[in-house]
């Protein structure tokens, strides 16, 4: 008995077998409805030889076409590199492809294990394993993974050698790429090899073939028409829990190692035929085993969810601080980071349901922060480089059966080079919030493995957003996604809270006090307006006035931030600005804080005039202080998520073993504000680490692996509790049963 195996969204292919040029590869991928490609060469040039500008151009074309990259096919250890050759060539290619992968959004590199170079078998094996060990250690540091293919090389066709190499190298950065068809020319049973390597398979190539007239020859066919048992291999992989890509490498018109190439007009048609045959491949029906397959998840609580350290390092290495943080021209690979994140999530069964930026018209509003408005005015294409991603595990279900998690992969600027010492990750975004983003996937996967209802009866959404940092406050990231309907009954914003949940979020108004006076030379300082003295006085006055409780009430949370006038020592700077951030817990408190600042500024200007009018050096500044000073608002009028909340939410998190943030302890600002007032929902902020203790936004930002693992475990417990509530009807009832599905406007 057989059926068509539904591989929708999981079939891709090595692009240069469809067309030599990237435009041709993209055209074929679009014709087939694919979401990704595997890359080996562009216009005949291996990826490892492409200069950085060419890679950036290629990434732009791929991303504009909506295509990700699932694997980069290196020449490391391949048929052209004997184990006696210069190892530096492999190390250099690893470094280049790791850098290219950050732009392209891919951390997986295909490798092989070198030809013998005339050495005896024992020495060949020893050298191959030693080289692979050294490559894997560097791959760990770079956050990439090496996928060893069952092709040419010492460990290519022998499962015992492959397993031995994996054991001796002992690295999470080394896994297996299984090719269904390589056993035919190399003379071994690939299906039998796969059965032994299943737990280590991270990526799959698909080809089929018939034996040729001579040993080592093969006649390549459409999938299912040869002797490679492609359908049986797919069944074996699916039954074991493989959820990654099936990448077509048909060798019908292009066989690189044999020097067989063709023009685009000759290669596209057979490639498309092979892709369509693979999509309709009849696969043997799944057996009904008496015992679970080897990949069956363990019972809840048996082990800590495994956090993908390599993915986190890859993301930490990828620059994602946006232009609002860095200014124009700085490296910014947020799209690549989101693509990498989506690819990792796809291996866990997630589907990408949205990846893109909102239209400018939906972003520009009265409450949109001024930096965002300025950026769009200066560059109408600004938003194109600020996409957000939505992933979904399971079908689209009504909101009552949906949990949404929100993370951000953009960061503030600066930071040291990323590192991981086995216990602690350091680097910008480690705790805020790339670390939580990676741990989140581990937690969801653990929950789905332990509780079949998750991904079946419970839909899980993950928003990975832009615009959380840089002063945008989610106005082109989270806000549009919420308004498009990507919301659950339970909504969790993953920010550092020390593993307590915070069911409120302050908003913030940002004021800029600007002085526009006249400069003066150092020989006649009294002739100009001294913005430094004026703004310095106002900074102290406002700090005292706004930081003191009025009429027995609570003081405002004010951050007296940047003051800038100039850098020259022999000049009186007549212009400058002072920034203040006012956090508030309710809309009413925000309006009151704005009025308080305006009043305090007027008082400060009067005091400055009274104090300095009799000082000759500053008399002109004192006289004109009110005229040359003005108050501008960078952002204001944003909502706040207040502490009023459905009781069922607190009870749910308590059942999951998650403690609530104390009511008397100050909260902080994050994108959770955009869920304020959403009926029938519970929203909270929850994550590992602490903004201050883990040095978020500061030098030395870090997060510990055990904190990420604890967050993943509590996330799994929370999802399981949510599923249990649905099954038992223990959640707050009755709720109106909506036919609206999460993710619909």
Distance CA 159, CA 167 (A): 12
Q: What percent of the chain has pLDDT over 70?
A: 92
Q: Rounded to whole angstroms, what are the CA distances from 35 to 38, 63, 396, 681?
A: 11, 10, 19, 33
Is beta strand 68-73 parallel, antiparallel or unpaired with respect to 419-420? unpaired
* pLDDT tier for residue 721 given thresholds of 50, 70 and 90: very high
Report yes or no: 535 and 515 within 8 Å, Cβ to Cβ. Answer: yes
Residue in 206, 294, 313 with CA at minimum distance from that of residue 252: 206
The pLDDT score that the predictor gives to residue 262 is 63
| Range from 34-48, 76-90, 195-209, 583-597 carrying the lowest mean pLDDT | 583-597
Report yes or no: 17 and 253 within 8 Å, Cβ to Cβ. Answer: yes
Q: What percent of the chain has pLDDT over 90?
A: 85
* pLDDT tier for residue 216 given thresholds of 50, 70 and 90: confident
pLDDT in tens, 571-607: 999 999 999 999 898 888 999 999 999 999 999 999 9
Q: How large is the average pLDDT for residues 535-556?
A: 76
364 Cβ neighbours under 8 A, 6+ residues apart: 373, 376
* pLDDT tier for residue 737 given thresholds of 50, 70 and 90: very low
Residue in 318, 333, 504, 341 with CA at minimum distance from that of residue 436: 341
Is beta strand 419-420 parallel, antiparallel or unpaired with respect to 424-426? antiparallel
DSSP 456: T
Whether omega for the bond prior to residue 433 falls within 30 degrees of 0, making it cis, is yes
Q: At what angle do helices 52-64 and 334-346 cross, to 10 degrees?
A: 60
For 346, phi then psi, to 5°, come to -60, -35
* pLDDT tier for residue 740 given thresholds of 50, 70 and 90: low
* pLDDT tier for residue 285 given thresholds of 50, 70 and 90: confident
Is beta strand 11-13 parallel, antiparallel or unpaired with respect to 2-4? unpaired
**pTM of the prediction?**
0.90
Tokens of 79: 């048929």
Mark 564-579 as b/e (b = at least 16 C-beta within 10 Å): ebeeeeeebbbbbbbb
Tokens of 596: 């308080």
- Model confidence at 9: pLDDT above 70: yes
- Model confidence at 53: pLDDT above 90: yes
The pLDDT score that the predictor gives to residue 646 is 87
Higher pLDDT, 580 or 264: 580
pLDDT in tens, 171-192: 999 999 999 999 999 999 999 9
Report yes or no: 727 and 461 within 8 Å, Cβ to Cβ. Answer: no
Residue in 415, 243, 408 with CA at minimum distance from that of residue 326: 415
Distance CA 717, CA 101 (A): 34
The pLDDT score that the predictor gives to residue 121 is 96
Q: How large is the average pLDDT for residues 5-13?
A: 89
- Model confidence at 27: pLDDT above 90: yes
* pLDDT tier for residue 556 given thresholds of 50, 70 and 90: low
DSSP 18: T
Handedness of CA 15, 21, 22, 26 (dihedral sign): negative
Mean pLDDT for all residues in the chain: 92
């Amino acid at each position: 008995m057989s059926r068509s195996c539904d591989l929708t969204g999981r079939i891709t292919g090595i692009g240069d077998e469809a067309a030599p040029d990237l435009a041709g590869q993209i055209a074929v991928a679009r014709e087939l409805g694919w979401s990704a490609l595997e890359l080996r060469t562009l216009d005949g040039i291996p990826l490892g030889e492409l200069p950085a500008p060419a890679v950036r151009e290629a990434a732009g074309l791929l991303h504009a076409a909506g295509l990700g990259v699932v694997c980069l096919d290196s020449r490391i250890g391949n048929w052209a590199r004997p184990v006696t050759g210069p190892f530096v060539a492999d190390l250099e290619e690893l470094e280049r492809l790791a850098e290219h992968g950050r732009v392209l959004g891919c951390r997986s590199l295909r490798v092989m294990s070198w030809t013998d170079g005339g050495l005896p078998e024992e020495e060949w094996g020893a050298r191959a394993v030693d080289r692979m060990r050294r490559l894997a250690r560097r791959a760990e540091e770079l956050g990439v993974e090496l996928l060893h293919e069952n092709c040419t090389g010492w460990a290519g066709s022998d499962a015992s050698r492959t397993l031995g190499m994996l054991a001796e190298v002992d690295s999470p950065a080394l896994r297996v790429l299984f090719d269904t068809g390589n056993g035919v020319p190399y003379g071994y049973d690939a299906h039998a090899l796969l059965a032994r390597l299943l737990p280590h398979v991270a990526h799959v190539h698909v080809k089929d073939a018939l034996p040729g007239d001579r040993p080592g020859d093969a006649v390549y066919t459409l999938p299912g028409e040869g002797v490679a048992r492609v359908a049986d291999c797919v069944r074996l992989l699916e039954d074991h829990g493989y959820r990654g890509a099936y990448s077509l490498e048909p060798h019908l018109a292009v066989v690189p190692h044999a020097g067989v190439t063709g023009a685009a007009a000759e290669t596209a048609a057979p490639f498309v035929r092979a892709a369509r045959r693979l999509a309709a491949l009849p696969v043997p029906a799944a057996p009904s085993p008496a015992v679970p397959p080897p990949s069956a998840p363990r019972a809840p609580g048996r082990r800590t969810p495994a956090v993908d350290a390599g993915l986190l390092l890859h993301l930490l290495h990828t620059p994602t601080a946006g232009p609002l943080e860095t200014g124009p021209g700085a490296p910014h690979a947020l799209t690549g980071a989101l693509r990498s994140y989506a690819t990792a999530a796809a291996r866990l069964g997630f589907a990408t349901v949205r990846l893109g930026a909102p239209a400018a018209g939906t972003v520009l509003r009265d409450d949109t922060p001024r930096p965002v408005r300025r950026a769009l005015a200066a560059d109408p294409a600004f938003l194109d480089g600020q996409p957000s991603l939505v992933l979904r595990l399971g079908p689209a279900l009504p909101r009552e059966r949906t949990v949404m998690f929100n993370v951000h992969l953009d960061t503030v600027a600066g930071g040291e080079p990323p590192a991981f010492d086995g216990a602690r990750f350091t680097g910008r975004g480690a705790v805020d919030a790339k670390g939580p983003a990676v741990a989140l996937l581990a937690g969801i996967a653990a929950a789905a493995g332990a509780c079949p209802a998750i991904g079946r009866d419970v839909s899980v959404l993950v928003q990975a957003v832009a615009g959380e940092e840089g002063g945008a406050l989610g106005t082109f990231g989270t806000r549009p996604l919420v308004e498009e309907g990507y919301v659950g009954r339970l909504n969790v914003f993953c920010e550092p809270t020390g593993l307590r949940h915070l069911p409120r979020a302050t908003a913030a108004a940002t004021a800029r006090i600007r002085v526009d006076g006249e400069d003066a030379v150092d020989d006649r300082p009294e002739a100009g307006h001294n913005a430094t003295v004026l703004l310095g006085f106002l900074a102290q006055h406002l700090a005292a006035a706004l930081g003191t409780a009025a009429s027995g009430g609570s003081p405002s949370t004010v951050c007296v931030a940047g003051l800038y006038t100039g850098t020259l020592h022999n000049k009186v700077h007549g212009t400058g600005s002072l920034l203040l951030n006012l956090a508030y817990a309710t809309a009413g408190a925000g309006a009151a804080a704005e009025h308080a600042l305006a009043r305090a500024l007027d008082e400060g200007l009067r005091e400055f005039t009274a104090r300095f009018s009799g000082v000759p050096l500053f008399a002109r500044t004192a006289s004109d202080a009110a005229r040359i000073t003005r108050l501008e608002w960078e952002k204001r009028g944003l909502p706040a998520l207040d502490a009023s909340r459905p009781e069922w939410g607190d009870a749910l998190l308590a059942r999951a073993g998650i403690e609530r943030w104390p009511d008397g302890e100050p909260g902080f600002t994050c994108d959770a504000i955009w869920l304020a007032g959403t009926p029938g929902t519970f929203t909270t902020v929850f994550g590992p680490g602490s903004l201050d203790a883990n040095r978020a936004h500061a030098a030395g930002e870090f997060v510990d692996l055990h904190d990420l693992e604890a967050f993943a475990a509590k996330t799994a417990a929370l999802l399981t509790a949510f599923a249990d509530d649905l099954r038992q009807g223990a959640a707050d009832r009755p709720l109106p049963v909506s036919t609206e599905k999460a993710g619909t406007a």
